[in-house]
A and B are shown apart, each in its own frame.
Chain A
Amino acid sequence: MISGRTLNQGASTEAKMGLAFGEETSTCALSEDDLSVMGLSGGGNVLIASPFGREVLRIRADKGLPSGMVFIPMGPWANSLVGPDTYGCGMPNYKGVEVEVTPTKEPVKNIRELFAALQRI
Chain B
Amino acid sequence: MTEDVLCTFCGCLCDDLRVEVADGRVQKVRGACRLGASKIMGHDRIKTPMIREDGVLREATYDQACARAAQILLKAKRPVLYGWASTSCEADRKGILLAEEVGGVMDTTATVCHGPSILGIEEKGLAGATLGQVKNRADLIIFWGCNPAEAHPRHALRYSSNACGRFTPEGRSGRKVMVVDVRETRSAKNADKFLRLIPGTDYEVISAMRMILGGKADVVPETVAGLPKTQLVETVEIMKNARFGVIFFGLGMTHSRGRYKNVDNALSLVAELNAFTKFVVMAMRGHYNVAGIGQVMACASGYPMSVDYSRGAPYFNPGETTICDLLNRKEADAALVIAADPASNFPRSTVEALAEVPVIQIDPFENPTTLLADVVIPSAIAGVEAEGTAYRMDGMCLRLRKLVDSEFPSDEAILQRIIDNVRRLRA
**Contact surface of A with B, Cβ cutoff 8 Å:** 2, 4-7, 10-18, 25, 52-53, 62-66, 69, 71, 74-76, 79-96, 111-112, 114-115, 118-121
Contacts of A94 in B (CB 8 A): 112, 251, 255
Contact B347 A115, beta carbon cutoff 8 Å:
no
Contacts of A64 in B (CB 8 A): 183-185, 188
Contact B372 A119, beta carbon cutoff 8 Å:
yes
With beta carbons under 8 angstroms apart, the residue of B184, B328, B352 that contacts A118 is B352
Contact B372 A90, beta carbon cutoff 8 Å:
no
Contact B322 A86, beta carbon cutoff 8 Å:
yes
Is B128's beta carbon under 8 Å from chain A? no
Contact B255 A95, beta carbon cutoff 8 Å:
yes
Contacts of B366 in A (CB 8 A): 16-17
**Contact surface of B with A, Cβ cutoff 8 Å:** 9-10, 34-35, 38-39, 42-44, 52, 55, 111-113, 115-116, 119, 147, 150-151, 153, 182-185, 188, 196, 199-200, 251-252, 254-257, 259-260, 286, 305-306, 318-319, 322-325, 328, 341, 343-352, 355, 364-368, 370-374
Contacts of B351 in A (CB 8 A): 76, 79, 118
With beta carbons under 8 angstroms apart, the residue of B147, B319, B328 that contacts A84 is B328
Give Cα A11–Cα B350 distance, bound, in whole angstroms: 26
Contact B256 A89, beta carbon cutoff 8 Å:
no
Contacts of A6 in B (CB 8 A): 150
B286 vs chain A, min Cβ distance (A): 8
B130 vs chain A, min Cβ distance (A): 24
Contact B182 A2, beta carbon cutoff 8 Å:
yes
Interface residues of chain A: helix, strand, loop or mixed (majority): loop
Give Cα A71–Cα B341 distance, bound, in whole angstroms: 21
Give Cα A62–Cα B319 distance, bound, in whole angstroms: 35
Contacts of A14 in B (CB 8 A): 38-39, 42-43, 364-365
Contacts of A118 in B (CB 8 A): 343, 351-352, 355, 371-372
Contact B371 A120, beta carbon cutoff 8 Å:
yes
Contact A5 B147, beta carbon cutoff 8 Å:
yes
Given A10-B35, A89-B319, A115-B368, do A5 and B150 touch, yes or no (CB 8 Å)? Answer: yes
Contacts of B183 in A (CB 8 A): 2, 62, 64-66, 69, 71
B256 vs chain A, min Cβ distance (A): 5
Contact B257 A115, beta carbon cutoff 8 Å:
no
B356 vs chain A, min Cβ distance (A): 9
With beta carbons under 8 angstroms apart, the residue of B52, B147, B341 that contacts A16 is B341
Contact A11 B34, beta carbon cutoff 8 Å:
yes
With beta carbons under 8 angstroms apart, the residue of B199, B318, B370, B373 that contacts A90 is B318
B307 vs chain A, min Cβ distance (A): 12
Shortest beta-carbon contacts, A-B, top 6: A90-B322, A64-B184, A88-B319, A15-B43, A5-B151, A82-B347
A20 vs chain B, min Cβ distance (A): 10
Show 13 A/B contacts (Cβ-Cβ < 8 Å), sorted by A.
A2-B199, A2-B252, A11-B34, A11-B35, A15-B38, A52-B347, A52-B348, A79-B348, A84-B328, A89-B260, A90-B318, A96-B199, A118-B372
Contact B324 A17, beta carbon cutoff 8 Å:
no
Give Cα A15–Cα B151 distance, bound, in whole angstroms: 17
Give Cα A94–Cα B150 distance, bound, in whole angstroms: 18
With beta carbons under 8 angstroms apart, the residue of A10, A69, A114, A120 that contacts B199 is A69
Give Cα A89–Cα B123 distance, bound, in whole angstroms: 13
Contacts of B355 in A (CB 8 A): 118, 120
Contacts of B52 in A (CB 8 A): 120
Give Cα A76–Cα B352 distance, bound, in whole angstroms: 12
Contacts of A52 in B (CB 8 A): 347-349
Contact B151 A90, beta carbon cutoff 8 Å:
no
Closest to B319 in A: A88
Contact A7 B259, beta carbon cutoff 8 Å:
no
Give Cα A63–Cα B254 distance, bound, in whole angstroms: 25
Contacts of A85 in B (CB 8 A): 328
Contacts of B324 in A (CB 8 A): 84, 86, 90-92
Contact A7 B182, beta carbon cutoff 8 Å:
no
Give Cα A114–Cα B343 distance, bound, in whole angstroms: 11
Contacts of A84 in B (CB 8 A): 324, 328, 347, 349-350
Give Cα A81–Cα B355 distance, bound, in whole angstroms: 18
Give Cα A17–Cα B305 distance, bound, in whole angstroms: 29
Give Cα A91–Cα B370 distance, bound, in whole angstroms: 23
Contact B371 A90, beta carbon cutoff 8 Å:
no
Give Cα A112–Cα B343 distance, bound, in whole angstroms: 12
